[in-house]
C-alpha cells in the first residue's frame, strides 16, 4: 500500500506537533527523537534497548527539518546550531554522528531553507525485508537532493533545498529561554491592514492578515489547520462545514435603517434587526477574528458588466472559506487589486456563535446584512453558501433599486446565433443540468442580471450539487472537479481519496465549487450582448398533472413566476407520505430583498419589450404520481423539447387548452410521442383520480398566491387555476 506525502515547509517556528510527519516502521537505521527542553527525552521502557526489540514492536519516527540561516557556519553540527532541538539521534552508541554532520553541512548550505516530504498519517506500517535494514544512501552534494531510501513505502523521503530569503526571517530582540520568540519591533502595515484596523478594529499587530492568497497557499493552510480537509484523487480540496451543512433561512436578518427601510420586503423572509443588535453581533464577530492566529482577505467582483459590478471584500478565518469565495467571486487582475476599495465587506466568524439572548436572536446562528453600512456579518454557521447567497441578496437590492436592473435566480446559455435562454427553477428541477448544453455556451448556472444591454452573470464560479454525480450523467460538472475546486461535505475513500458521490453520510447537500472557466464551453467574459429570446420556468411536478411543456402568456408568466412551484418528495421528511407542493416566489424567495411583485413587473416589462417566448417546462413525473408508479420524464424527451424551442419549431406547432390551469399545450413536438404531451392522455389510472389530483394542485396554487394578491393586477389574478 503506497503512502501519501505532502510537501510542507518546516522550521522551529512552526507548531511542534502539526509540522511533524509521523509513521511507524520496522528496521529503520535511525531511532529518531525530537526533544524539546521542556519535554523529557523519550526513553525505552524499563531500560530496554530499542535495538533488541525493533522486530517485536513498532517504533515512532518523528522527522523535523531545520532552518539554517546565514548566521550559522556550514561546517558546524546541527545539534549545536539549534540547542532547543536534537534531531535524528543515532540508533545506538555505536552509531557515529559523523554522517549527521556530513549531511547537515553538505546538504544544507547556510543560506537555504530545508523542506521535507512527510506522511501526515499515523500508524502507517511499512513492510520490511532483510535488505531494508541497511543504512540509507546519503548524497553529500549540495547541488542535488538528498535521498533517504527504504523509509517510506513505495516512495522516497526527499530532502530538497531552495534559496532562503533573508527578509522572511523575523528580526526580533530580547529573546530569552523563557520567551524565545523575543520582541518584534514595530513594522509598517499594508493598506489592507490599515483599512481593517481603522474600520473594524482588527488587531494587525497580533493577527496575521493574509490577503488574496493563491490557490496552492490556501490548500496548504486548509490541510494543516482545518479538520476534515484533504486532497482528493481528482486534485480537488475537500472541506467540512461543521454542523450546518445547508443555509439557515430562518436566521437571516436585514438591519432596519433609514436608507433601505422603505424598500425592503419585511416579513418571514427578511426579518428586521435593530441597529444596536447589529453592532453587538458585528463586534462579536470582530472579537472572534482578533483571537485567530491568521485571517484571510479575499477581494473580488460581483457582476461581469463593468457598469454595474460591485466590489466585495471577504474577511474570514478559514482557508476553505477563502478558497470558496475566490472561486465564486469574479477574480480581479493583479493591477486591479492595488488600492482595491470594497463596496461591501463580509465578516465571516461562522465558527463562533451568536448570543441567543440578544434581542431578536432565535438561535446561535445569525446571517445579517446592513445596506446602510454595506456590511454583512455571519455568526454560528460555517456553511460557505451563506456568503454566496448573501452577495446574491445584496444584488437583489442594489440592482433594481439603484440601477433598474433585474436580478434573477436563473441559469443562462447562448446559442451559436447569439440567442439567449434563461432557466428559472428550484433545486431538483434540472436548472444546472439543462443549461449545460454541449451545443450552447454557458453564461452562468445560478445568478444573473438582465440590463438594458443584455444578460450578465453575477458570479465567477459555479456551485453545483454533486449527490449522485457521475461522468455519464453530468460530464461538464464532473470534469470541472480538479485542482482549485472545493468539494463540500463529501465522503471519500481514505486510501485512494476517490470521492463517493452517492454517499450522503454527512449530508445530502454535498456541493462542488469551481471557477466557471473549468466548464469547457463557458462563455468568458460571462456576458451576452443580446436579450433573451426564450425564458423557461422549470418545475418538477411529482403529481404528474402538469404538462411536460406549455406556452405562457404575459399574465400567466407573472403568476407562475411569483408562485415558483415544485414538489417536495415523500420520505424526505418525517410525516410526508405523498408529494408536497413547495412554492418559492420568483424561484428564489429566501434571497429576495424587495416584494416579489416588483421583480415580476420588471420581468413582464422586459418580456414585452423584447418579445421573448415564455415556457413552463415540467421535468417531473408522467403517467401517474411518484408514489403510484409514475416515471420521471425521460431526459431525452426534455432535451428534444428544448431543441425544438431553440430551433423555433415548437412555437409553430398547433396548440390546445389544458383545462383547470388554462395552459396552451402543443399537440405535437419533434422527437416526443404525442400522448406524452398531454397529462390526461398519458395518465395510466382512473380518470376521476386524475381530475381530483388536478383540482388539488390548483387549489394549492390559489392558496399560495393569496399572499401576493394585494400587489397583483387583475389580469394576473385571473391567470390562477379555475377550481
* Catalytic sites, residue numbers: 247, 389, 409, 427, 431-432, 446, 511
199: CB partners within 8 A, 6+ apart: 345
Separation CA 325–CA 419 (nearest Å): 30
Question: What gap in Å lies between CA 82 and CA 401, rounded to an integer?
Answer: 63
Strand partners, 656: 665
Residue listed under C-alpha cell 547537515 = 104
186 Ramachandran zone, left/alpha/beta (phi>0; psi -120 to 50) = beta
C-alpha to C-alpha distance for 238 and 512, rounded to whole angstroms: 9
Cell numbers linked to 130: 532483510
Q: What ranges make up the beta strands (E) of 451-505?
A: 455-457, 461-465, 486-488, 491-492, 499-500
Scanning the structure block, which residue is given the C-alpha cell 539521534?
89
Q: Helix, strand, or coil here: 295? A: strand
SS3 per residue for 307-353: CCCEEEEEEECCHHHHHHHHHHCECCCHHHHCCCCCCEEEEEECCCC
d(CA 59, CA 56): 10
97: part of which helix (H) or strand (E)?
A: none
Kindly give the pairing relationship between strand 532-539 and strand 420-424: parallel
CA dist., res. 453 & res. 418, Å (int): 13
d(CA 409, CA 423): 9
Q: Are 579 and 570 in contact (CB under 8 A)?
A: yes
Q: Are 260 and 250 in contact (CB under 8 A)?
A: no
The dihedral over CA atoms of 147, 150, 153, 154, expressed in degrees to the nearest 10, equals 60
- CA atoms of 426 and 538, how far apart (whole Å): 8
Distance CA 9, CA 16 (A): 13
Cβ-contact 719, 559 below 8 angstroms:
yes
Q: For the CA atoms of 711, 717, 721, 723, what is the dihedral angle to 10 degrees?
A: 100
- Strands of 337-405 (E only): list them: 344-349, 366-370, 375-379
**Residue 435 neighbours by CB distance under 10 Å:** 25
In this structure, are residues 346 and 285 in contact, taking their beta carbons and an 8 Å threshold? no
- DSSP states of 621-674 as a string? EESS-TTTT-EEPPHHHHHHHHHHHHHTTGGGS-EEEETTTTEEEES-BTTB-G
Three-state DSSP state, 612: coil
| Helix, strand or coil, per DSSP, at residue 477 | helix
What is the spatial distance between Cα 325 and Cα 342, in angstroms, rounded to a whole number? 15
**For the chain, counts of helices (H) and of strands (E):** 16, 37
Query: With 0-12 CB in 10 A as exposed, 13-18 as middle and 19+ as buried, what is 672?
Result: buried
Which of 518, 514, 503 lies closest to 467 in space, CA to CA? 503
For residue 427, the SS3 value is coil
Residue pair 416/423 in contact by the 8 Å Cβ criterion? no
Backbone φ, ψ for residue 32 (5° rounding): -85, 135
Amino acid at each position: 500500500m503506497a503512502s501519501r506525502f505532502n510537501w510542507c515547509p518546516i522550521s522551529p517556528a512552526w507548531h511542534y506537533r502539526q509540522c511533524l510527519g509521523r509513521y511507524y516502521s520496522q528496521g529503520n537505521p535511525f531511532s529518531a527523537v525530537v526533544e524539546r527542553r521542556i519535554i523529557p527525552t523519550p526513553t525505552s521502557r524499563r531500560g530496554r534497548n530499542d535495538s533488541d526489540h525493533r522486530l517485536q514492536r513498532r517504533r515512532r519516527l518523528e522527522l523535523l527539518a531545520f532552518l539554517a540561516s546565514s548566521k550559522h557556519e556550514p561546517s558546524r553540527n546541527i545539534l549545536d546550531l539549534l540547542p532547543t532541538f536534537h534531531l535524528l539521534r543515532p540508533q545506538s552508541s555505536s552509531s557515529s554522528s559523523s554522517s549527521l554532520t556530513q549531511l547537515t553541512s553538505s546538504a544544507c548550505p547556510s543560506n537555504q531553507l530545508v523542506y521535507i516530504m512527510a506522511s501526515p498519517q499515523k500508524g502507517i506500517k511499512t513492510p520490511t525485508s532483510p535488505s531494508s535494514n541497511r543504512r540509507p544512501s546519503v548524497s553529500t552534494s549540495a547541488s542535488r537532493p538528498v535521498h533517504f531510501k527504504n523509509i517510506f513505502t513505495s516512495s522516497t523521503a526527499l530532502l530538497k533545498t531552495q534559496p532562503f530569503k533573508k527578509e522572511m526571517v523575523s528580526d526580533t530582540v530580547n529573546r530569552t529561554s523563557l520567551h524565545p520568540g523575543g520582541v518584534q519591533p514595530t513594522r509598517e502595515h499594508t493598506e489592507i491592514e490599515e483599512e481593517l484596523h481603522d474600520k473594524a478594529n482588527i488587531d494587525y499587530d497580533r493577527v496575521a492578515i493574509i490577503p488574496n492568497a493563491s490557490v496552492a497557499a490556501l490548500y496548504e493552510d486548509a490541510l494543516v489547520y482545518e479538520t476534515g480537509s484533504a486532497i482528493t484523487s481528482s486534485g480537488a480540496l475537500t472541506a467540512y462545514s461543521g454542523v450546518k451543512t445547508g443555509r439557515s433561512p430562518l436566521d437571516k436578518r436585514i438591519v432596519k435603517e433609514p436608507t433601505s427601510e422603505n424598500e425592503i420586503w419585511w416579513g418571514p423572509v427578511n426579518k428586521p434587526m435593530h441597529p444596536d443588535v447589529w453592532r453587538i453581533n458585528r463586534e462579536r464577530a470582530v472579537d472572534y477574528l482578533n483571537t485567530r492566529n491568521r485571517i484571510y482577505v479575499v477581494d473580488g467582483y460581483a457582476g461581469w458588466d463593468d457598469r454595474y459590478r460591485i466590489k466585495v471584500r471577504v474577511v474570514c478565518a478559514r482557508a476553505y472559506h477563502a478558497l470558496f469565495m475566490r472561486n465564486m467571486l469574479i477574480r480581479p487582475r493583479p493591477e486591479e487589486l492595488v488600492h482595491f476599495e470594497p463596496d461591501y465587506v463580509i465578516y465571516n466568524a461562522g465558527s463562533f456563535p451568536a448570543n441567543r439572548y440578544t434581542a431578536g436572536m432565535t438561535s446561535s446562528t445569525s446571517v445579517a446584512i446592513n445596506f446602510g453600512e454595506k456590511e454583512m456579518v455571519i455568526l454560528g454557521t460555517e456553511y460557505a453558501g451563506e456568503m454566496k447567497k448573501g452577495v446574491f441578496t445584496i444584488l437583489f437590492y442594489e440592482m433594481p433599486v439603484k440601477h433598474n436592473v433585474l436580478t434573477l435566480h436563473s441559469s443562462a446559455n447562448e446559442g451559436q446565433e447569439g440567442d439567449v435562454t434563461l432557466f428559472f427553477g428550484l433545486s431538483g428541477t434540472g436548472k444546472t443540468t439543462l443549461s449545460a448544453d454541449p451545443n450552447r455556451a454557458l453564461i452562468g448556472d445560478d445568478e444573473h442580471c438582465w440590463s438594458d444591454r443584455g444578460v450578465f452573470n453575477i458570479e465567477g464560479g459555479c456551485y453545483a450539487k454533486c449527490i449522485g454525480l457521475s461522468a455519464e450523467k453530468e460530464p461538464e460538472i464532473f470534469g470541472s472537479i480538479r485542482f482549485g475546486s472545493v468539494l463540500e461535505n463529501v465522503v471519500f475513500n481514505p486510501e485512494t481519496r476517490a470521492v463517493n458521490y452517492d454517499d450522503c453520510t454527512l449530508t445530502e447537500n454535498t456541493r462542488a465549487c469551481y471557477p466557471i472557466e473549468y466548464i469547457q464551453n463557458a462563455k468568458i467574459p460571462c456576458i451576452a450582448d443580446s436579450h433573451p429570446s426564450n425564458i423557461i420556468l422549470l418545475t418538477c411536478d411529482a403529481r404528474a398533472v402538469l404538462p411536460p411543456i406549455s406556452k405562457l402568456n404575459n399574465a400567466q408568466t407573472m403568476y407562475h413566476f411569483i408562485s415558483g412551484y415544485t414538489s417536495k418528495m415523500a420520505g424526505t421528511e418525517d410525516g410526508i407520505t405523498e408529494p408536497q407542493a413547495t412554492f418559492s416566489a420568483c424561484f428564489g424567495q429566501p434571497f429576495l430583498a424587495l416584494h416579489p411583485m416588483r421583480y415580476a413587473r420588471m420581468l413582464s416589462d422586459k418580456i414585452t419589450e423584447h418579445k421573448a417566448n415564455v415556457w413552463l417546462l415540467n421535468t417531473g413525473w408522467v403517467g401517474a404520481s411518484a408514489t403510484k408508479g409514475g416515471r420521471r420524464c425521460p431526459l431525452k424527451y426534455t432535451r428534444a423539447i428544448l431543441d425544438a424551442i431553440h430551433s423555433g419549431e415548437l412555437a409553430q406547432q398547433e396548440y390546445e387548452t389544458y383545462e383547470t390551469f388554462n395552459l396552451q399545450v402543443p399537440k405535437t413536438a419533434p422527437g416526443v410521442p404525442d400522448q406524452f404531451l398531454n397529462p390526461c392522455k398519458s395518465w395510466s389510472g382512473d380518470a376521476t383520480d386524475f381530475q381530483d389530483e388536478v383540482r388539488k394542485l390548483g387549489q394549492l396554487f390559489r392558496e399560495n398566491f393569496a399572499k401576493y394578491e394585494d400587489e397583483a393586477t387583475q389580469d394576473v389574478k385571473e391567470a390562477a387555476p379555475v377550481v
